[in-house]
A and B are shown apart, each in its own frame.
Chain A
Amino acid sequence: MNQDWILSQQVGRVLTLTLNRPEARNALSTDCLALLVQHLEQADADDGVGCVVLTGSARFFAAGADLRELQQQNVAVTLTDRRPQVWRRFCAFSKPVIAAVNGYALGAGCELALASDIVICGENARFGLPEITLGLMPGAGGTQRLIRCVGKSLAYRMVLSGEVIDARQALVAGLVSEVCVDTLTLEKAQWLAAVIARQAPLALRAAKAALKQAQETTLENGLLAERQLFTVLAGTEDRREGIAAFFDKRSPEFKGR
């Protein structure tokens, strides 16, 4: 495994992880994905990290999985593939993740963006699930997460035809929250991450857990879970500090307690 596949840089409480396999257009081989998850797990345990930004290069966020790897897998090997486990670990990351996408986010790259909490992209970004054109299909959330954010018609179209959509379509469809000038994508994501990273860590954790619930359960159970998480925060120091700072008209100082 090449440690350079993921570049890591921390400024304040924002950790930026950059996919760095230019020779493979940032293809997400299992090893590369596992390395990314290692970084996230370290960040999860690190109180100094409040939010993570995930990005690629100017032309490629990530252009899919490693096809050579897939080529060698028959049914038996695929059944015992460790890759789904690696994805599960990605999704278990408890802090906010922002994907800053420039260029192509295809296949697994698109699924990585979909699995992130917020996506910001450049004007020339492209999103697509071209698996179908290779005789396979999305295998890491593509058919599930896409339809939940862009709706039935566009999701079916993208999955069944393999056609890519541009940044504007992605914005209109709700796949991304903001489109900006390419050269500012990373900066904007980091700026947003800094805003998020200033918030109370426990509240962020609970809010992210509540938002994830929304995809998993019925509205009634979701509301119940939300209320429980809300109640848990009532006992935190940071909640008292947050409200007190609001009345004192000053910035709160959160301690994660």
Chain B
Amino acid sequence: METPMILTHIESGVLTLTLNRPDRLNSFNDEMHNQLAEALKIAELDDKVRCLLITGAGRGFCAGQDLNDRNVSVDQETPDLGLSVERFYNPLIRRLNAMPKPIVCAVNGVAAGAGAALALACDITIASSSASFIQSFCRLGLVPDSGGSWFLPRLAGRARAMGMALLGDKVSARQALEWGLIWQVVEPEALVGYTRNLARHLATQPTYGLGLIKHAINSSATNTLDQQLDLERDLQRLGGRSADYREGVSAFVAKRQPVFCGK
């Protein structure tokens, strides 16, 4: 059997998805998209999975679209790149955004194009100090896709978003941290251990409540304060009905460690 392009591994409530085309810097082709879509189904359907960890195999994280793939061949008719975005990239980002479980991203190396957007679409993004982020689209006459043009100005501000998107320069992990694109930078040899522990910790937390938090924060991008206040009220109502809320309160009162079930 051929080597899978997405490796999946479940342990301690954490589903680890590894982008696995190391010889092509884990860049996407249609088949890899299909495999990733299948793997995300596990995360969505399996209650035992309470946290997702996404990383790349080899020295890169993800170089975006594989330019060798037929989608972008230049020798034939003008390709419809919009179709590939519509079919693969947009649904991927939408699913990550809507996933009611925390998603940790371990950026082990270069994250370029849609690969950078993928890293930014995750909830907690940790980069190796040797990693870098590149909005490479401008060099090919293209536009940051997979939410890139949406995430960048929100995370880093307009000036930095414009600089990154129009110049396509490499931004180091440290710079990305300073600009607020990501949550943490750790040394390369510590990345695997650090992110695994973080993901395992998250997998013991009140998953349902964390899902509500994601919902609230993701909605805030388009809501007015008024709408957001109403949404907070509704989500708090749901959170208050969860088993984990009861457990949290009773553990607090009894001065013991809570044991959350994620519901």
Instruction: Note all chain B residues with C-beta closer than 8 A to A180.
Output: 234
B237 contacts which chain A residues (CB < 8 A)? 184
Residues of B within 8 A of A184 (CB): 234, 237-238
Residues of chain B contacted by A183 (CB below 8 angstroms): 238
Complex Cα spacing A165 to B231, Å = 22
Within the complex, what minimum Cβ distance (angstroms) separates B25 from chain A?
A: 35
CA A184 to CA B234, docked complex, whole Å: 8
Assembly CA distance A180 to B235 (angstroms) = 10
With both beta carbons as reference points, the residue of chain A lying nearest to B230 in the complex is identified as A180
> How many Cβ-Cβ contacts under 8 Å join chain A to chain B?
10
A177-197 vs B, CB cutoff 8 Å, 1 = contact: the mask equals: 000110110000000000000
A186 to chain B, nearest CB (A): 13
Smallest distance from the beta carbon of A189 to chain B beta carbons, Å? Answer: 14
Contacts of B234 in A (CB 8 A): 180-181, 184
- Bin chain B's interface residue count: under 10
Q: Which of B231, B234, B235, B238 has the most CB of A within 10 A?
A: B234
Residue of B whose beta carbon sits closest to that of A168: B222
Nearest chain B CB to A177 CB, angstrom units: 14
A180 CB to closest chain B CB (Å) equals: 6
Question: A148 vs B188: C-alpha distance in the bound complex, in angstroms?
Answer: 62
Which chain B residues in 228-254 approach chain A with CB under 8 Å? Answer: 231, 234-235, 237-238
User: Across the interface, which residues of A come within 8 angstroms of B215, CB to CB?
Assistant: 181
Closest residue of chain B to A180 (Cβ to Cβ) is B234
Please, how many angstroms separate the alpha-carbon atoms of A183 and B234 in the complex? Answer: 9
B172 CB → nearest A CB, Å: 38
The answer for the CA separation of A180 and B238 in the assembled complex, in Å, is 12
Shortest Cβ gap from A90 to chain B (Å): 31
Assembly CA distance A155 to B237 (angstroms): 36
Residues of A within 8 A of B235 (CB): 181
Q: How far, in whole Å, are A184 and B212 apart by their CA atoms in the complex?
A: 13
Q: Chain A residues near B231: list those with CB within 8 A.
A: 181
- Nearest chain B CB to A121's CB is how many angstroms away? 14
Interface flags for B94-133 (1: CB within 8 Å of A; 0: not) read 0000000000000000000000000000000000000000
- B-side contacts of A181, CB under 8 Å: 215, 231, 234-235, 238
User: Which residues from 138 to 182 on chain A have a C-beta closer than 8 Å to any C-beta of chain B?
Assistant: 180-181
> Once the chains are docked, how many angstroms separate the CA of A183 from the CA of B263?
14
CB-nearest residue of chain A relative to B212?
A181
A253 to chain B, nearest CB (A): 30
Q: Give bound CA distance, A180 to B215, whole Å.
A: 12
A181 to B237 Cα, complex, angstroms: 11
In the assembled complex, the Cα of A184 lies from the Cα of B215 at a distance in Å of: 14
With CB as the reference atom, state the residue of chain A lying closest to B238.
A183
Considering the complex, which residues of chain B in the window 172-218 have a beta carbon less than 8 Å from any beta carbon of chain A? 215
CA A181 – CA B215 in complex, angstroms? Answer: 10
Alpha-carbon gap, A180 to B231, bound state (A)? 8
Q: CB-nearest residue of chain B relative to A124?
A: B98
CB within 8 Å of B: which of A177-221?
180-181, 183-184
B9 to chain A, nearest CB (A): 30
**10 A-B pairs whose Cβ atoms sit less than 8 Å apart in the complex:** A180-B234, A181-B215, A181-B231, A181-B234, A181-B235, A181-B238, A183-B238, A184-B234, A184-B237, A184-B238
Complex A-B, nearest 6 residue pairs according to Cβ-Cβ distance, in ascending order: A181-B234, A184-B234, A183-B238, A180-B234, A181-B235, A181-B238
Since A183-B238, A184-B237, A184-B238 are in contact, a sample of 7 more A-B pairs with Cβ atoms closer than 8 Å, ordered by chain A residue number, is: A180-B234, A181-B215, A181-B231, A181-B234, A181-B235, A181-B238, A184-B234
